[in-house]
Amino acid sequence: MQHILNRTMKAKANALLLCTLMIASALAGCAGEDVERTLTQADCDAIGDGYTLDSGNNACVTTETVTETVTETVTETVVETLVRGCTDSAANNHDSAAELDDGSCDYGRAQADIMADYAAGTIDFSQALYELEVSRKCREQGSNNPCEIVEMSIGDASTIDPGDAYDSASGDVIEQVYDTLYRYAGDGSGNAIIEPRLATGYSVSSDGLTYTFTLRDDVYFSNGDKMEASDVVYSWCRVIGYAGPASHVNWILDQSFNCNDADGNHDDNGGLNLTAIDATSFSVTLKAPSSAFISTIAYTVGAVINAELCEANRVVELDADGNVTSDDYCHGWLDEGPFGAGTNAYLVQSWVREDRIVLTPNWMYWESGDYNINRHTMTIVTEASTRLLAYTDGEVDFGSINIEDLTNFCYIDENGNGAMDAGEDDALDDKPNVASKAGHICTYRETFTTTLSAFNLNPKVLDAGEDTSNTDANSSLVLNHDCSDDGVDENDCNVMATAALREAISYAFDYDTHRRVTYDNSLAPQYGPIPTGFLYAGTQYEVFTYDLANAEAILENAGFIRQYDCSSLSHGGAPTVIAEADRDGTECRLPNVLRVMANEGNDYRIAMAGQLEEALGTIGVATSGDAKSWPEYLTMYYTRTWDIRFSGWAPDYLDPDNYWSPFAGSHDIGGDAYGTGYHNDVVDTHLLTGRTSQDDATREQAYVDAFAAWVQDPNMIIIGQYNGIGVKHDDICSPDWVAIGSAHWFDYDKLPEVDGALVGSC
């Protein structure tokens, strides 16, 4: 605010000393004498009005008053306290005194009253839906679209069916549409806790086998159908019966219980082992005691679906004799998250594969409270520069920003003065002490995510006429090595089935460079399946390092000598063997080309794949590989048409078994989530002990023994544990961080920006 101030300056007297000589001369007639006489007031009066006698100086003086006007511009900062409240006169809680809307306006009837009337049959579904939207929806204000969150990601979902989804992109959507009995949440200090969702509690029998759950009685599917215990029983039995044909995610439930122990065919919707007691309670009997059981059902595979709608949309085909030839367990219907399928906060409004997914509110959602986010849009963008530009320009709230680009938004406050000084954003080495530049929030997060590269022991090639756009494409095993000891010289396995080859590949990977450089120190060393922060992580130690000489020696000692014409190699065809006398040392060691796979948009995996390919090439192992789109990547995974693939693992549940079993357990014990075909009886035995034992010392020793056996016969390269920095715009309010599971948009808020300033705080 500017003020113009006028002020009168202090009058100043200008003493005008008259020439004493002149006055004296005038009075004396200028006689020319050198005598100065003493003046009197009469002398001064004779000069004129206003002269007074200055006897000290023997002079007559006059006083002149001068008035000056000075104009100053003063800038003041005036802080006005505006009254905040609901400014909308149409709202229930309109505040006539409010000068600034704080987003608290309440409309229509209370959610609880509407749902009570719906439960009583006083209003129908359409009326309830209308009233709930009026009551619960976010009202737009400001200039930054505070009721919508937009993000960019590098990978699309493969399916929104919780019974066959085992990738993080799918899980991110499933956790918005479907709910589970329990869910992980942050405790405010970086740790994860399990909180009840659809369940209100459970009890366990004295033998640790039978769990009896009680459920909420106020939960409805998005189409208005009430959720009951029979829906839970149906959902879990469906997972076991459908058996996750693409993802094999069913192992998480399969390891714990059967649906029906009478015939074990898993087709029944409940039985002696899994039984609905009444509308709000059911029981499940486990195969063996499990300390991790509650954790396992918190994963998306434990989500509850609408049993009636699933059964109505289930496609079962019969032959002429009435025998079932195919059963999709309603996967075709559930694949894109249809209306009425789930009970969670959002619906899939639209899904254009490999482009975008749009979520909008399920107004029937049971949790109390209004929506802060009416629309969540996720677009798929594989180019890092495009994501960076969109985030920088404010087009998106989250942008999957590459590590090397974070210095645009974050810095390290090295001198602790709370401000960014020159050079503090050159590098983000001290990541736990990251600070945020204006307009952004940078957060250091320790995760349980493991970066790895899996080996396929039974790789396939697509049959003639098939392509990687079909997840059900026919493919055939590549048999190019003699693994048996039967004395018959015949190819009965693939070279990848040999422990020596996989061990050699493990020594061809440059662990340290990728942790420090590729990931800019965002990968902490991880030497076995269990990450730091989990029980029994100390049972592992460093074995594999980057040692090409050792890798080559292992191959040589295992009989993989340089003998094949490299130009003759393919993925599955017969190679040309060069006569021993004609070999010059440039030949290849394996009878086929190894396919090394990474996905588009993940520049780190692409870089790691490139380094491994180059290293293997120097020791005589031919490779091929390029970045695959996410659907093609998943299709190659499902059809087993790969040899080495870079990937990652975020935990399904917080127990060491959730790393060991999916990484190195065989399919026989419900493991092998990566489809490697790995089966080591010794490892399996120890993992089963670790999974089922209730004794801490016994479990620890089991993982010690499993690790000792596994390093002699590895089925993957375990690279590191991701601990990095996330960035978002400063108008986004997030719930407490948790290192497992997905974001839940109902718990997010976006502060409105009004007149260039954010209203409210997180």
Q: CB of 129 within 8 A of CB of 376?
A: no
* Residue 475 phi, psi (nearest 5): -145, 160
Q: Among the listed ranges 37-41, 369-373, 696-700, which one has the minimum average pLDDT value? A: 37-41
The lowest-confidence range among 60-69, 628-637, 651-660, 751-760 is 60-69
pLDDT band at 68 (very low <50, low <70, confident <90, very high): low
Q: Structural domain boundaries of the chain?
A: 2-75, 84-139, 149-397+731-757, 447-722
Give the whole-angstrom CA distance, residue 85 versus residue 92: 12
Q: Indicate the pTM of the whole model.
A: 0.78
DSSP 8-class letter at 515: I
| Range 330-337 average pLDDT | 97
User: What Rg value do the Cα atoms of the chain yield, rounded?
Assistant: 39
pLDDT band at 357 (very low <50, low <70, confident <90, very high): very high
Q: Taking 50 as the threshold, does the pLDDT of residue 1 lie above it?
A: no
Rounded Cα distance between 241 and 287, Å, is: 17
State residue 172's pLDDT score.
Answer: 96
pLDDT over threshold 60, residue 442: yes
Give the tokens for residue 727.
């960035």
Structure tokens at 340: 């009425």
Cβ–Cβ under 8 Å, residues 372 and 203: no
Q: How confident is the model at residue 321 (pLDDT cuts 50, 70, 90)?
A: very high
pLDDT of residue 18 exceeding 50, the answer is no
Q: Which of 136-140, 178-182, 529-533, 758-762 has the highest mean pLDDT?
A: 178-182
Average pLDDT, the chain: 89
What mean pLDDT comes out for the span 608-637?
93
pLDDT at 288 > cutoff 70 = yes
pLDDT tens track for 151-174: 999 989 999 999 999 999 999 999
Q: Are 432 and 521 within 8 A, CB to CB?
A: no
> What per-residue confidence (pLDDT) applies to 69?
56
More confident residue, 636 or 440: 440
E strands, 531-631, are: 594-599, 623-624, 627-628
CATH superfamily, with its number, for domain 149-397+731-757: Periplasmic binding protein-like II (3.40.190.10)
What is the Cβ-side half-sphere exposure of residue 467, based on CA atoms within 13 angstroms?
2
* 642-660 pLDDT tens trace: 999 999 999 999 899 999 9
For residues 362 and 341, give the distance between their C-alpha atoms in angstroms, rounded to a whole number.
Answer: 11
396: closest CA among 374, 380, 372? 380
Mean pLDDT confidence for 694-717? 97
Query: How far apart, in Å, do the first and last CA atoms of the chain sit?
Result: 30
Q: How confident is the model at residue 75 (pLDDT cuts 50, 70, 90)?
A: low
Mind listing the pLDDT tens digit for each residue in 663-691? 999 999 888 989 999 999 999 999 999 98
Rounded Cα distance between 456 and 597, Å, is 11
Give percent of the chain above pLDDT 90. Answer: 70
- What does 626-650 look like in DSSP terms, one character per residue? -EE-HHHHHHHHHHT--SEEEEEE-
Predicted confidence at residue 62, as pLDDT, reads: 74
CATH number belonging to the domain at 447-722, selected among 3.10.105.10, 3.20.20.30, 3.40.50.300, 3.40.50.2300: 3.10.105.10
For residue 352, what are the contacts with CB-CB under 8 A and spacing of at least 6? none
Question: Cα 199 to chain center, whole Å?
Answer: 26
Beta bridge partners of 375: 148
**Directed axis angle between helix 696-710 and helix 681-692, to 10°?**
160
Q: How far apart, in Å, are the Cα atoms of 334 and each of 159, 183, 197, 378, 695?
A: 8, 21, 22, 20, 41
Please tell me the predicted confidence (pLDDT) of residue 79: 52
Between 85 and 210, the higher pLDDT residue? 210
**What does the pLDDT look like over 553-579, one tens digit per residue?**
999 999 999 999 999 999 999 999 999
Q: Which percentage of the chain shows pLDDT scores above 70?
A: 91
Give me the residue label for tokens 């499990």. Answer: 290
